Amino acid sequence: MKPIPIVFENSDFVVINKPEGVAVQNEQSQSGILPRIQTQLQLDKLWLVHRLDKVTSGLLILAKNAVAASRLSQYFAARKIQKYYLAISDKKPKKKQGAVIGDMHKVRDGKWALKTSRHQPAIGQFFSAGLGDGQRLFVIKPHTGKTHQIRVMLKSLSSPIVGDSSYSGTPSDRTYLHAYGLTFEDCGQQIQISCLPDSGQHFTFSTANPKVASLLTPWELDWPQLHIQKSTK
C-alpha cells in the first residue's frame, strides 16, 4: 500500500495529504486514514481534530497527543484556523466570486440542500477563474464546518463539482474537491501550509494564468469582511 504523503510534522501534530476515496475511519471494505497513518508513523494513537469527506483529498491535521488535540480542536471551534479548498466545475456559476450563506437541511440519501434562511447558516466565500474548455477553478474559504458544505454551496451556485455524483456533478475520475491550504498560529509559531492535489486528470492547471496563480495564494486574496444578519423567524 502506497505511503500517505506527510506535508508537515512536529512533536504535537502531523499534517497529511489525504487521498480521495479514503475515509478517515476504518470501513468494512478498506482501512481508514487514521489507522494507516498510525502504522506508517509507528505511533500508538493519533487524534482527529477535524474531518474531510471521503471523496475529498488534501490537508488533514492529526494530533499526536491529547493536549495538542484539545488545543487544535479549540482553534477550529473558535475559527482560528483558516482553511482553503480548490474545486473544479464545468458549469457556469451564478456569480464568479462572493459569499454563499444559508441554513442546510437534509433531503434524502444522506444529501443536503441549502435554504435561504439564516438561523444557523453555513457560511463560505469564494473566488474563481476560468481554466478553458468550459472549466472553472474555485478557491473556497469556509467559515463554518457543516457536512458537505462546499459541495452544497457550489451546487447552489449552479456549478456542481466535477465528479460529485451526489450533487449532480459531471461524471469523472474523481470528485474535484481538494483541501489546499491551512493558516494558523500555534504556540507562537505562524503556520502556513499548502499542498496541490496529486490525482485527477482535471487538476493539472497552468499557473501561467495570473488569475489561476492568484488563487493558489488564497491568504493573499482580498476576502471581503462579512456582515451576516441571522434570520429571526
Give the catalytic positions in this structure.
53
Quote the CA–CA distance of 10 and 96 in Å, as a whole number.
38
- DSSP track, 154-177: HHHTT-PBTT-GGGTPPP-SS--E
Neighbours of 137 (CB within 10 A): 22
Could you tell me the three cell numbers for 15?
499534517
Q: Which three cell numbers stand for residue 211?
A: 488569475
CA neighbor of 68 nearest in space, from 41, 48, 93, 53: 48
Helix H or strand E encompassing 75: helix 66-77
Q: DSSP string of 107-120?
A: -STT-EEE-S--SS
The alpha-carbon radius of gyration of the chain (Å, integer) is 18
- Reported as type and span, the H/E element at residue 220 is none
Amino acid letter for position 5 = P
Q: Residue 227 and residue 224: Cα distance in Å, rounded?
A: 9
